[in-house]
Amino acid sequence: MAEQDLVKILESIAGYLEIEKRSGVNCFMRGKNVQKRIDLLKKIAEDVNKCKKCSLYETRKKVVFGEGNPYAKIIFLGEAPGEEEDREGKPFVGKAGKLLTQIIQALGLRRGEVYITNVLKCHPPDNRSPYSEEINACFDYLKREIEIINPRVICALGKFANLALSRKEIPLIQQHGREYLYEGIKVIPTFHPAYLLRNPQEKKSAWQDLKKVIEIVKRKSDLKSTTLIGV
């Protein structure tokens, strides 16, 4: 196993343990179960790496799969990798990524405690918006990621993340902060960090949306029946 992969796995496990500790959990899941979830995510990443389901495979430099805590309570979902992500093969590493990291920290979390991914796993040339056929072609990977992680809440960042989950063409300016369900999981749509960099006046409303995300995580009634078991 490459050192980089090992570090990623250890960071994921550390993030998972930290968030469970904060939730008051004092026992740990068997290592076998943690590994199983990581293996399932790795399998999707392998499928994505060889994917040619839409024409974006022809222009991508690197596939950008999701990363973070496989037991995250929150998934932050963007629309597609940008140029920097395409070069590095990691989600949200550019300017917008820095803002997302700051947002996560402002919410009292570390980046490693959440899971970050995009609707599209390949960069659309010239940073153009995703086409609906690309969203449809790529959606199965996202669906599988969400099923495995099974978060308490998904924060849909921007128009296309929201469209992919809601399948409704409602302008984000109207829908941001309004909770709905995707496959039984709560979704809070808000503005994409790249949009917030261009429109800083919207940061205040985005913060109100993001506070709802944290409220869902903290709400006792939303606690899933835990599957944690003592070693």
Query: Residue 121 or residue 186: which is nearer to ligand SF4 going by CB?
Result: 121
Residue of 122, 148, 194, 216 interacting with ligand SF4 (CB under 6 A): 122
Question: Closest distance between ligand SF4 and the C-beta of residue 78, in Å?
Answer: 13
Segment 45-64, which members bind ligand SF4 (CB under 6 A)?
48, 51-54, 56-57
Q: Cβ closer to ligand SF4: 140 or 215? A: 140
The stretch among 2-10, 66-74, 134-142, 204-212 that binds ligand SF4 (CB under 6 A) is 134-142
Burial of 7 (0-12, 13-18, 19+ CB in 10 A): exposed
Q: Which is nearer to ligand SF4, 29 or 122 (CB)?
A: 122
Distance in Å, CB of 140 to ligand SF4, minimum: 8
Cβ distance to ligand SF4 smaller for residue 71 or 141: 141
How far is Cα 23 from Cα 184, in angstroms, rounded to an integer? 21
Segment 162 to 221, residues that bind ligand SF4, using CB under 6 A: none
Rounded Cα distance, 170 and 80, in Å? 19
Count residues contacting ligand SF4 (CB under 6 A)? Answer: 13
Give me the residues that bind ligand SF4 (CB under 6 A), please.
48, 51-54, 56-57, 120-122, 134, 137-138
